[in-house]
Structure 1
Amino acid sequence: MTTSGVRAIAAEFIGALILFATVVGSGVMAERLSGGNDAIALLGNTGATGAVLYVLITLLGPISGAHFNPAVTLMLGARRDWLPFIAAQLIGGIIGVLIVHAMFDLPLLQLGIKSRTGTGQWIGEFVATFGLLFTIVVGSRQRPDAVPALVALWIVAGYWFTSSTSFANPAITIARAITNSFAGIRPIDAPGFILAQFAGAAAGVIIGRWLNGPREDA
């Protein structure tokens, strides 16, 4: 593997670690400070996630593409070395969740108990991931300089208008299944989310590429 390939995998590991830690950590902090008000907790969770997404995509995009998401890596077909990329995303993300548990003096090893299942939740994840991949595909062609902001804003919006609060990421779904916190999900519910995410991602890529049309230089 080339040096640039190693750096790309390292960027995905670091980016996933920070992103997943932010999602779970801001959920823990927001829950503690909100006094039981879920709307306030979700607002805090949303703001932190959107902010860190903008930072990470801006900084790491030139190094790895800033995927932090197996659906992005697989559906865009941008990496031949997709397996180490996805492994880095998953391992980095899980470590990020464990760091959050350590920071907040929570049991290091735990499982999510929050029920997130049913047709409505699965449709929410389909829509959330469809929009994410659609934003990346169309944005990368039409406004490549704006992609960090576009992705961050889509996820911020998705937290509030989708029934599932916009996981939109198979790796983060797995990582959130090992935390019994505001951001958690029961492990038994994770497969339904992941299937909906890949279906939504595929639809987002297909429709986004169709709308973009052929490249003028093709």
Structure 2
Amino acid sequence: MSLALYGHPFSSYTQKVLIALYENATPFEFRCLGPDTPQHAAEWLRRWPLGKFPLLVDGERSVVETTIIIEYLQLAHPGPVRLLPADSMAALDVRFLDRFFDLHVMQWVQHAVNGALTGDPVKREDGLALAAKKLDLAYAWLEKQLAGRTWAAGEAFTLADCAAAPALFYADWTQRIPETCPVLRAYHARLLARPSFARAVNEAREFRPLFPLGAPDRD
């Protein structure tokens, strides 16, 4: 098997790539990184000394950064689900939304998580308060942006939805998507029901106690 993915099932960015792989039933070997699998760490760090995951290995080629990994998969291992449109302007819209979910949703979840990981109650509350404010802004924008759409960029499931699914999943744990955003809540529900993401969620279920803000008993 030529493709190998280094990552962790509970990692939002690992899930982003897993969704793309599952969408196209792309064969690959998952090499979980963690205390129970030390055999994978040396090769992972040899290939990517910056120590970030996920990392995709295709033969001798290493590919990092989730958006680039998914675009690479479409180029080198295409499947029936095209995650980036052929039309250049449509692809630009998808790329923008991909960046929105990474930078304006998931980044603020990580900000809150980092505050909690300090163990300092003040930093925890400050981090959560700022994240809540920023996420509410993102939710309000998305509520308008997604109106009339099935998926983030329209009727087709794309790279943007691969980014949106884990970002909104953990964002909703951090700052609940309010009832005043019914369009966004419905989109979130469609993502949870998508088989590729449902599989990723179930594979990560055992790790929920690791969420430092406390994982809700739902989803």
- Return the TM-score normalized by structure 2: 0.35
TM-score with structure 1 length normalisation? 0.35
Tell which has more relative contact order, 1 or 2 (C-alpha 8 A, sep 6+). 1
Structure with greater proportional helix content? 1
